[in-house]
Amino acid sequence: MRANSADTRHMTGLIKLIPLLRYRDPEVYESFLKGEDDVERYLERVVGEMAGETDPRIYVNALRMMNRFDVSRDIQKGRSDFHIWAVSSDHMHTVAQHRAFHNDVTRRGIKSHFSVIDSDKGHDAFLLNEEKLIPYFERVL
């Protein structure tokens, strides 16, 4: 997909919907559809709202990085620490889910650190001001 394509805005909206479409918690998923009688019409409307002016190459690059860098072997060998950050207002990936993941990897003998970032940005915590994130990055670096 080229960034200057006529479909760029539509495709960017669809890309942003991927986490919602694959989300497994039926209660949260249903809450997005409350009052909607037609799921397809809802998704089309949301695509328009989510598209914004985002360059879709950002998402493509993020997916490529996730596919290229597999740290699972190092984690299994105990060479890496997990730094798990939950966002207080994220209802898509909740604090409880992050804490359960932290507890699970700790039980497996993997060194894990857990923090909750207080924010009203929800799942879009990447929108946080960097000053708020610096203390968390300092712990890792």
Residues contacting 117, CB < 8 A, separation 6+: 85, 86, 87, 88, 125, 128, 132, 133, 136
CA proximity to 117, closest of 84, 83, 141, 85: 85
Tens-place pLDDT, residues 31-45? 656 666 666 676 677
User: Does position 99 have pLDDT exceeding 90, yes or no?
Assistant: yes
Instruction: List the chain domain ranges.
Output: 8-68, 73-140
| Cβ(50)–Cβ(80) below 8 Å | no
Q: Which residues pair with 116 in a beta bridge?
A: 86
Tens-place pLDDT, residues 50-88? 556 556 677 677 777 767 776 677 777 777 788 899 988
Please state the rounded mean pLDDT for residues 104-130.
82
User: Which 3 state secondary structure label does DSSP give 23?
Assistant: coil
Identify the weakest region by mean pLDDT among 24-28, 31-35, 71-75, 122-126: 24-28
Model pTM greater than 0.75?
no
Please state the rounded mean pLDDT for residues 119-127.
73
| Cβ(45)–Cβ(82) below 8 Å | no
